[in-house]
Amino acid sequence: MPRISDQERQRRRDLVVAGARLAFAKWGYHGCTVERLEQELGQSRGAIFNWFPDKWRLFLAVSEADQRRIADALSDPQLDLIGWIAGLDIPYAQAYAEALGLVAHDPEKKREWEQRSPALFDSVYAATEERQGRGELRSDVSSRALIQFILLFVDGLTLRRSVGYAMSDKDAQIMRALVLDAIGPRD
């Protein structure tokens, strides 16, 4: 069997993660069976689970990839934070909500969930501190507290979307004003 490069191995793994994201978006975590994963990815279970020992670890990989995307966005000092929050979409919100239920009842899954990328948000905290220093964000609380607040808000939006609650334009404007007031600079 020919040896493949590390780059090709990563490309193949990334394709599995991207396809799994679509499958989780369609069927949720519990409804995403091995057969549905095979169908969505166009690969055999052996090809899929060559990279991940089980569905949980595949889901962790999907969520970690998105966690990295979120951290990259939040690290950008030019990011329109409020616009970004308003437009953020987690296409597999139902699966995300179901996974949080698993995390709540299984200490091992909770540990794995919390350890996905422990240092990932260090750059986010640094970028937030820069924004605080420029007077763009309130500075009477730590950068960590601000980011935790933003992530709680994002999680709440994600969970509400997962059960089908849409936000009207008027409500979105009100939420934007509330978030701006909560994280904006203090006089």
pLDDT at 144 (0 to 100): 92
- Give residue 14's pLDDT band: very low, low, confident or very high (50, 70, 90): very high
* Residue 113 · residue 60 · CB < 8 Å: yes
pLDDT at 53 (0 to 100): 92
Model confidence at 1: pLDDT above 70 = no
* Short-list 87, 65, 84, CA closest to 19: 65
* Residue 117 · residue 64 · CB < 8 Å: yes
Residues 110-140 pLDDT 10s:
998 888 877 888 888 999 999 899 998 999 9
Fold of 54-183: Tetracycline Repressor; domain 2 (1.10.357)
pLDDT at 171 (0 to 100): 82
Give the dihedral of Cα atoms 17, 23, 28, 31; nearest 10 deg.
-120
Question: What are the start-end ranges of the H helices in the chain?
Answer: 6-31, 34-41, 45-49, 55-75, 81-87, 93-105, 107-114, 122-133, 143-162, 169-183
Higher pLDDT, 2 or 7: 7
Q: Is residue 179 classed exposed, middle or buried when 0-12, 13-18 and 19+ CB atoms within 10 A define those classes? A: middle
For the segment 150-157, the average pLDDT, to the nearest whole number, is 83
For the segment 48-55, the average pLDDT, to the nearest whole number, is 91
